[in-house]
């Protein structure tokens, strides 16, 4: 495996490339971090490493994205596009990109897939925020409200969000997008009913018959230890591997 730092004025990201990419072009998974963290924090995290190692073992290159800072709440699509453009020139890329978002990173992962700067072939979410409106309007965390307002250039928390910015609404525009949602009803930080479960429920009404929309209901607190258990890590990594196999098979039939 090789590791490369991807420089950017708004914070460096980290690209991990498996040895498999030397033999054949590889797909890429972009990992978006939690609130208050950076790509450097995630690169040093033994918990995040469990996921990145599982992705690498399945033949994916992994980009741990800085998402332009610790509290950008999915607003950094320009950063994602610029870093992605650098990254795909650094290894043998097979033109397919996937997204994995944890907590706040769910917004970056989904927004990149729903009209973002590059095509995304599948998304996995762990304890993720998916409703930008809920993050902005929920008075249970005033600092979060202010962070979201600042990230999107809003005058205050009562100001309307920019049009077509909330993934919970945009999911209807992408009926073919494969999505795996993993979360816990016990999550006190990111309410599951208003986020992961709401996304799964809403997407059921408009998804394509061939689309993969999967719900993995966990237990325990927000990003608790059980959410990094081997079975959970394998489930998310296998989801990406399954999507990649399907796309490869489809390409061969053409």
Q: Summarize pLDDT for 127-167 with one digit per residue, the tens.
A: 999 999 999 999 989 999 999 999 999 999 999 999 999 99
Quote the CA–CA distance of 50 and 168 in Å, as a whole number. 28
Q: What is the secondary structure of 201-220 as a DSSP string? A: HHHHTT--TT--EEEEE--S
- Looking at residue 254, its pLDDT comes to 66
Give the pTM: 0.96
Quote the CA–CA distance of 106 and 219 in Å, as a whole number. 19
CB-based contact 183:126 (threshold 8 Å)? yes
Taking residues 221-227, what's their average pLDDT?
96
Residue of 118, 126, 119 lying closest to 32 (CA atoms): 126
Res. 24: pLDDT tops 80: yes
Quote the CA–CA distance of 47 and 233 in Å, as a whole number. 10
> 183-213, pLDDT tens digit by residue?
999 999 999 999 999 999 988 766 677 678 9
Taking residues 218-222, what's their average pLDDT?
97
């Amino acid at each position: 495996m090789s590791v490369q730092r991807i420089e950017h004025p708004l914070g460096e990201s980290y690209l991990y490339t498996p040895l498999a990419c030397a033999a054949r072009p590889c797909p890429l998974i972009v990992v978006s971090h939690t609130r208050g963290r950076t790509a450097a924090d995630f690169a040093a995290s033994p918990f995040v490493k469990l996921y990145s190692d599982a992705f690498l073992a399945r033949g994916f290159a992994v980009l741990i994205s800085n998402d332009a800072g610790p509290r950008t709440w999915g607003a950094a699509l320009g950063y994602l596009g610029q870093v992605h453009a650098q990254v795909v020139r650094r290894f043998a890329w097979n033109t397919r990109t996937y997204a994995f978002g944890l907590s706040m990173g769910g917004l970056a992962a989904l927004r990149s897939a729903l009209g973002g700067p590059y095509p995304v072939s599948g998304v996995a979410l762990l304890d993720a925020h998916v409703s930008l409106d809920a993050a902005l309007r929920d008075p249970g965390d005033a600092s979060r409200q202010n962070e979201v307002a600042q990230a999107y250039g809003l005058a205050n928390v009562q100001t309307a969000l920019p049009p077509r910015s909330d993934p919970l609404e945009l999911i209807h525009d992408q009926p073919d997008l494969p999505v795996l949602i993993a979360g816990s009803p016990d999550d006190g930080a990111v309410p599951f009913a208003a986020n992961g479960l709401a996304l799964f429920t809403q997407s059921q009404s408009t998804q394509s018959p061939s689309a993969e929309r999967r719900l993995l209901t966990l237990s325990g607190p927000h990003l608790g230890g059980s959410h990094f258990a081997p079975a959970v890590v394998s489930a998310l990594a296998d989801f990406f591997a399954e999507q990649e196999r399907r796309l490869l098979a489809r390409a061969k039939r053409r």
